[in-house]
Amino acid sequence: MSDDSKMGQGPATIGRRKIMLAGASLAAAPLFAGAGSAAAATAEPPPLKGPFAVRAYATKGAKSGFAPMQIQRRAVGPKDVLIDIEYAGVCHSDIHTARSEWSETPYPCVPGHEIVGKVAAIGNQVTKFKVGDYAGVGCMVDSCGECENCLADREQNCQKGTTFTYASPDKVMGGMTYGGYCERIVVKEHFAIRMPAGANLAAMTPLLCAGVTTFSPMQHWQLKPGQRVGVIGMGGLGHVAVKLGVARRAQVTVFTTTSNKLEDAKRMGAHEALLWSDKAAFARLANHFDLIISTVPESYPMQQFVDLLKLDATFVNVGALGKLEDLDGMLMAFGRKSFAGSLIGGIAETQEVIDYCAARNITADIEMIMPEQIDMAYARVIDKDVRYRFVIDFTSARKA
């Protein structure tokens, strides 16, 4: 998400000590695929018996840059998978969180919620993966599994508090969760996504946040072939939204503030690409769209775009997760227009977007970086100087 707003700022510290004790006892009794099990017969690496150290890239304050740091990962529990991370996308939410732009972030902070790697170990109750499979992790790693929303495959809306992939209270280890800017992660298999072998996995990595965040509203509001969808913002999320809208055979119109992105939008199949400054276009497109998806990661005057909706159509904000400005009740009422929020997608829906994109060869446009370049990448994202997603390459980092 550009998008995982308050992610991680839940009712954090209550019962931290209790949680840590529970985590310690869990860690002391990990249940692995042991001798005699099917998994053991496939000669997987020896299971890790307790919490273990992993090299990560962390920031220790809103203004400090990233530096290597050792973090602890929990022992692989019976339903856990251990993933050797190969790729991690850089989402604008990572920047908001690393810099405490939504609220005060707990430090040290290891962002990263677009994660793909190879399964290196599994617990003895894992059924979805075997060692050597490719797995992805998106924006969340746990939820209660019992509430109405979890039972409806909306784990990101868990009524008891979703555990997001980073900067979220870690119910197993205590402390805060650490994300994908690191070499390994342990996660419940339910929250791991099957990634297709043989695909361009580096370029699929951003689909785990940017993909599902823009796919989910198209599904929920049932964007159909021939309908008109507006995509506001042509960044990490926006460029994927264009590709997903085109794949649905909708008529896609892109609104960007960056003139040299106009051609890219057309190349990706957009019907039209416009600058925000094009007032004539705004006049022409009044009452035009069936759906508008706003991916801009900051608040901005949105009513000018809401005015472009048809009667009964919906404007979905997935990008700006702070306070919003400038909505006009009168104008919304006269057009019976809806204004909605949407947060990533559930695990089933995340698997669906991965399978959907794999079947259609839809990937993000990416630029690979080494972990030492995260600060540079952040600066370039802020400058709108990325086409269109940075992905950290841990395969080369490991060899180095």
Angle at which helix 210-220 crosses helix 236-247, to 10 degrees, equals 40
Q: Provide the CB-side half-sphere exposure for 121 (13 A, CA).
A: 21
**Member of 1, 19, 95, 273 binding Zn ion (CB under 5 A):** 1
Instruction: Compute the least distance from the CB of residue 213 to Zn ion, in Å.
Output: 7
Q: In the complex with Zn ion, which residue's Cβ is closer, 48 or 140?
A: 140
Q: Which residue has the tokens 């940017």?
A: 210
Number of residues that bind Zn ion (CB under 5 A): 10
Greatest distance between any 2 Cα atoms in the chain: 71
**Member of 40, 147, 262, 370 binding Zn ion (CB under 5 A):** 147
Q: In the complex with Zn ion, which residue's Cβ is closer, 160 or 310?
A: 160
Site for Zn ion in 55-94 (CB under 5 A): 91, 93
**Member of 54, 88, 182, 209 binding Zn ion (CB under 5 A):** 209
Helix-strand-coil percent breakdown of the chain, rounded to 5? 30, 25, 45
Instruction: Compute the least distance from the CB of residue 91 to Zn ion, in Å.
Output: 3
Angle at which helix 210-220 crosses helix 347-360, to 10 degrees, equals 100
Q: In the complex with Zn ion, which residue's Cβ is closer, 166 or 276?
A: 166
Contact between 150 and Zn ion per CB under 5 A: yes
Q: In the complex with Zn ion, which residue's Cβ is closer, 188 or 228?
A: 188
**Member of 124, 143, 205, 317 binding Zn ion (CB under 5 A):** 143
Contact between 351 and Zn ion per CB under 5 A: no
Q: In the complex with Zn ion, which residue's Cβ is closer, 147 or 281?
A: 147
Site for Zn ion in 307-326 (CB under 5 A): none
Contact between 343 and Zn ion per CB under 5 A: no
Instruction: Compute the least distance from the CB of residue 42 to Zn ion, in Å.
Output: 34
Site for Zn ion in 111-140 (CB under 5 A): none
Q: Could you tell me where the DSSP H helices lie in 61-127?
A: 92-98
Instruction: Compute the least distance from the CB of residue 322 to Zn ion, in Å.
Output: 15
Q: State how far the alpha carbon of 240 is from the alpha carbons of 42, 68, 258, in Å.
A: 38, 31, 17
CA 143, 54, 209, 380 torsion: positive or negative?
positive
The window from 17-25, 160-168, 178-186, 313-321 that contacts Zn ion (CB under 5 A) reads 160-168
Contact between 295 and Zn ion per CB under 5 A: no
**Member of 122, 126, 158, 397 binding Zn ion (CB under 5 A):** 158
Q: In the complex with Zn ion, which residue's Cβ is closer, 209 or 357?
A: 209
Instruction: Compute the least distance from the CB of residue 30 to Zn ion, in Å.
Output: 25
Instruction: Compute the least distance from the CB of residue 48 to Zn ion, in Å.
Output: 28
Q: In the complex with Zn ion, which residue's Cβ is closer, 39 or 140?
A: 140
Which helix (H) or strand (E) element contains residue 126?
Answer: none
Q: In the complex with Zn ion, which residue's Cβ is closer, 156 or 251?
A: 156
Give the footprint of Zn ion on this chain (CB under 5 A): 1, 91, 93, 143-144, 147, 150, 158, 160, 209
